[in-house]
């Protein structure tokens, strides 16, 4: 094991054991250099590795902090979607993955036609819980997106998404008919690093059933997530609801 990997593993153990608690500020790079007797480059590589694992995030001008994953997705509602959400639910299983593949990338090799139906593309001040998940103020602006993704014109999933306007400039309605993640990577040069997710079963609302051509109340697979860039900045808060009888969700976790 390389030295920076050993340092990252040591800090990770401190986080998992509770020695470093959620929202705790990590020592500075200089302090970590002194503690481990290594160079700044080695410490910075360890911090990058912990960031990729979704355990810490950097706040500009403030320092590096342990992520509070117990609060990260304690609410999964996005505006009208939260009807019926259980306010007592406050503990979830999270997945951390460096796979930045969205719907287009996941289904691109199937040979099926991928398309989208866009129901909402607007710029809004985010609700309080969304602003908290994205580490922004309620006075900031976000894109609010609602779209249905289809395979061979059959609706598969409805997505509700918020993204910070300042972080992702120039997003246009036309991008929503393809891969938004491709726009982030190719046009903006952003690197998507990890996701924190909660997966559960929920009933389809009447509106969702209409848009997905299914039956109200039918079980759907819901994936709520916060996506992070390689510097630990949250770039997306979304809830996706899949019509459960039309396919399956496969995921690979990289720890």
Q: What is the pLDDT of residues 2-48, one digit of tens each?
A: 899 999 989 988 887 888 888 889 999 999 999 999 999 999 999 98
| Block residue for tokens 């998992």 | 16
Instruction: Give the tokens for residue 112.
Output: 């099926």
Q: What is the pLDDT of residues 94-141, one digit of tens each?
A: 444 434 567 776 776 677 889 999 999 999 999 998 998 898 999 999
Q: What is the pLDDT of residues 199-215, one digit of tens each?
A: 889 999 999 999 999 99
Question: 134: which residues sit within 8 A by CB, 6+ positions away?
Answer: 126, 142, 162, 164, 226, 234, 235, 236, 237
At 249 the pLDDT is 62
Q: What is the pLDDT of residues 94-106, one digit of tens each?
A: 444 434 567 776 7
The confidence band for 149, taking pLDDT boundaries of 50, 70 and 90, is: very high
CA–CA separation, 64 vs 48, rounded Å? 11
The confidence band for 247, taking pLDDT boundaries of 50, 70 and 90, is: low
Q: Are 163 and 171 spatial neighbours (Cβ–Cβ below 8 Å)? A: yes
Nearest to 12 by CA among 64, 42, 41, 53: 53
At 88 the pLDDT is 34
CA–CA separation, 208 vs 222, rounded Å? 12
- pLDDT over 80 (residue 252): no
Instruction: Find residue 238's DSSP bridge partners.
Output: 161, 225
CA angle 172, 147, 143 (to 5 degrees): 45
Of residues 126 and 250, the one with the higher pLDDT is 126
Q: What is the pLDDT of residues 62-91, one digit of tens each?
A: 889 888 655 444 444 444 444 334 333 333
Structural domains of the chain, ranges and CATH numbers in brackets: 3-67 (1.10.10.10), 71-246 (3.40.1410.10)
At 229 the pLDDT is 87
Backbone angles phi, psi at 48, to 5 degrees: -60, -40
């Amino acid at each position: 094991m390389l030295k920076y990997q050993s340092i990252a593993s040591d800090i990770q153990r401190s986080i998992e054991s509770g020695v470093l608690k959620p929202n705790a500020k990590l020592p500075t790079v200089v302090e970590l250099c002194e503690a481990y007797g290594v160079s700044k480059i080695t410490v910075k590589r360890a911090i990058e590795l912990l960031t990729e694992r979704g355990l810490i995030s950097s706040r500009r001008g403030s320092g590096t902090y342990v992520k509070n994953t117990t609060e990260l997705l304690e609410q999964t509602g996005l505006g009208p979607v939260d009807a019926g959400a259980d306010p007592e639910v406050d503990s979830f299983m999270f997945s951390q993955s460096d796979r930045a593949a969205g719907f287009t990338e996941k289904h691109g090799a199937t040979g099926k036609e991928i398309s989208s139906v866009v129901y909402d593309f607007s710029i809004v001040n985010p609700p309080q819980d969304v602003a908290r998940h994205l580490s922004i103020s309620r006075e900031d602006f976000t894109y609010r997106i609602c779209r249905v993704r289809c395979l061979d014109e059959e609706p598969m999933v409805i997505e509700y998404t918020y993204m910070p306007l300042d972080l992702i400039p120039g997003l246009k309605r036309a991008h929503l008919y393809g891969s938004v993640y491709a726009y982030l990577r190719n046009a903006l040069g952003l690197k998507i690093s990890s996701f924190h997710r909660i997966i559960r079963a929920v009933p389809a609302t009447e509106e969702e059933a209409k848009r997905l051509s299914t039956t109200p109340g039918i079980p759907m697979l819901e994936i709520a997530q916060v996506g992070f860039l390689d510097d630990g900045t949250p770039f997306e808060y979304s809830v996706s609801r899949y019509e459960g009888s039309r396919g399956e969700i496969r995921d690979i976790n990289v720890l």
